[in-house]
Amino acid sequence: MSFSFQNHSYIRSYFITTALFLSQYFALISCQYVSFTNEKKNHQSLFISSFVFLEMSYALETHTKAKEQIGSLPEITPGSENDTVPLIQLGNKIFRDINLSANRIQACVTCHPLDGRSAGMDRQSTSRGTFGQLGKRNTPTIFNIGFSSVLFWDGRRNTLYEQAIDPFVNPLEMSLSSESELITRLQNDSSYQNFFSEAFPNDSNIDIHKVRLAISAFERSLISISRFDEFVNGDLYRFNQQELYGLNLFLELGCNHCHSGRTLGGNSFSKLESPEFYNPNDLGRFEVTGNPNDRYVFKVPSLRNVFLTSPYFHDGSVTSLKESILRMNSYKLNRSVKDSEIELLIAFLKTLSDRTKTN
C-alpha cells in the first residue's frame, strides 16, 4: 500500500522540517567524542530537545497562518462601546422573561439556552413556538451574534436592533399580537421599573426603542472565547498535534473561503448545490428578495461552537458533524477528504467551542 504526500501539505511540511533537523542532529553527534555514558545521555537529551523544538516550530508556523487567515475574536463587539451594565442587565431580564410570550411559558432563552453547557441554541431540528407550532428553520446559536452582519438564515435583518422584536411577534415563535402588546406587558410588570430607570436614567418610560436597545446590548455581550482564540493570541501549547494538523487541513482545503473571518462564517451567503437533500419548500433568501438567483441561497453559518450546536444546516436535517463535512466536501472544497482527515477537521472544530461549555 503506497502513501503520497501530494495532498497532505500540512503533514508534508512537518516531515520536511523533521528531516532537516534529524540530518543536523546526526551530523552533530558524528562530530562529538565523549565517554559512552555521557554520549548516550547527551544524545537522548539532544534528540528530545530537537523534537520539542520541531513541535514548537510547527505550532508557530500554524499559529502564523491562523492569525493571518482567521484571527481571534475581539473582547468587545462592534457597537457595544456605549452599552452599560444596567442596559445589558435589562436586556438579559427581557430575554429570559416567559411572560412576554402569548402563553407565558416561553422566552427567548427557551430556544437560545445560555446556562450550563448550553451553547445558545436548543439542539432541535426546528424549535417549537408557544402553542407547539414547529418553526420553519433550525435555531442558530446566539453566541457571537454581535459580530454578524447577516441575521436569520435568509438574511432578512442586518442589525440586532432591527431583529430584536421579531421573535416576540412571530406567530411561529412567541406569538404576541403586536409590539404594543409587548410594551403593555412590560409596563404592567412592576419589576421592570427599576431596570428601566437604571438603564435610562434620563427617561425611563418604557417604549419599543428602549426594548430594542436593551436586547441588542445583551446579545452583543454574548461572546464565546475558545482554545482557538487562546492559541491565536499566542498560547502555542493550547493545541495538540492532531488539532494542529486539523487546522492546517482546514486552511489547505479552503474551508475558510466561505467560513471566513474571525467568526469563521456568519457574514455571507451561499447557494445549496443539492437542494433536494433539504426542505424543498424553503426557498431561502428568495423569499426576502424575490430575486430568482436567490433561490436556495442561505446564510453561511459561523463555525464557532459548531461541535456544540447540532443538528446542522438551515433545516436541522443533519445530526452528525462528520456527515455535514462530507456534504460540504462533495461540492465546496478543493478536493475530497478521507475519513482520517475528517477526524482531524473535527479535532480542530472542537477547539472553536466556548471553553466554559466544554469539559
- Tell me how far apart the terminal alpha carbons of the chain are, to the nearest angstrom: 39
**Contact (CB, 8 A) for 344 and 246:** yes
Q: At residue 232, what is the residue type?
A: V
Residue 31, annotated as binding a ligand: no
Residue 257, annotated as binding a ligand: no
Residue 1, annotated as binding a ligand: no
Residue 43, annotated as binding a ligand: no
Residue 174, annotated as binding a ligand: no
Residues 6+ apart with CB under 8 A from 341: 249
Using CB atoms within 10 Å of the CB of residue 323, give its burial: 0 to 12 exposed, 13 to 18 middle, 19+ buried. middle
User: What is the b/e burial string over 50-80, where b = at least 16 CB atoms within 10 angstroms of the residue's CB?
Assistant: beeebbeebbebbbebbeeebebbeeebeeb
Residue 8, annotated as binding a ligand: no
Residue 258, annotated as binding a ligand: yes
> What residues are labeled active site?
173
What residues form the annotated binding site for heme c? 108, 111-112, 255, 258-259, 328
What residues form the annotated binding site? 108, 111-112, 255, 258-259, 328
